[in-house]
Structure 1
Amino acid sequence: MPVDPAKLAKLQQASATKIGGTRRAAKKVVKNVEQDDTKLQAALKKMNAEKFDGVEEANFFREDGKVLHFNRVGVQGSVQDNTFVFTGIAQEKEITQLIPNILPQLGAENLEILRKLAEDIQARGGLNAATATAAASGEDIPNLVEGETFEDDVE
């Protein structure tokens, strides 16, 4: 059956300028956090995961030098399956914000990041010359004794 080109052009033009009609609305997917938690808890129950008490915080060190910090954390795990779950609200922080508290947690790769950070601070002049020379010579800061001043020790 031959197609009339004029009729075909007229149909194409009509479909291009068509206004209205029905359109299906996209279904909005709502994620339920509680549902995810129940699935997670069911999976942990199958593995006989135990809850670890006494964990106050957790820090995960990233390769870019940032730290994923959990202030209040819940830890569950299965040692035989080598699976651990950390639950809580994580904050991404710079390693400099957490330095005094996390020194015992640092591994060899993170100590390298710390060394680079210290070099950057020294290059920017962050440490004054007196502090740098005192630290290099290993001089101790004298203890305060009642009735004495620092000026007495200097002379």
Structure 2
Amino acid sequence: MNREKLMKMAGAVRTGGKGSVRRKKKAVHKTTTTDDKRLQSTLKRIGVNAIPAIEEVNIFKDDIVIQFLNPKVQASIAANTWVVSGSPQTKKLQDLLPGIINQLGSDNLENLRRLAEQFQKREQGSAPADDDDDVPELVSGETFEAAANEGATS
């Protein structure tokens, strides 16, 4: 190294003027701990409680599954708030489907079957069938009041 470059590097680490002690390493301050403390204090204010012995959490979003293995789960039922913290892994639904089916109960299995049918229809390009959420057409000559009165008498 040349002398000029060495003097320039030595001057960069000097904390005071000429003759003062040089630092060996520049201190780097981290602010992530303050964010974590602020989050924990907010969660404490809401009143979340830790839920122990949860081995796995799966979050389903379209055909993607966000999977947490051995997460820290906290919940506040009153505030309708769930906190899942840990290291997430993003996977496709088809890859995890065999392992997830074993964990589901019989009631959730029916919901999964319905979702799979909707997914297949969407991939085939067909429009969804008539939904029950649609407002039915009125029969000509009838009103809602007449139908309500007829239902009350029978």
**TM-score by structure 2 length?**
0.49
Higher relative contact order (CA 8 A, sep 6+): 1
**TM-score by structure 1 length?**
0.48
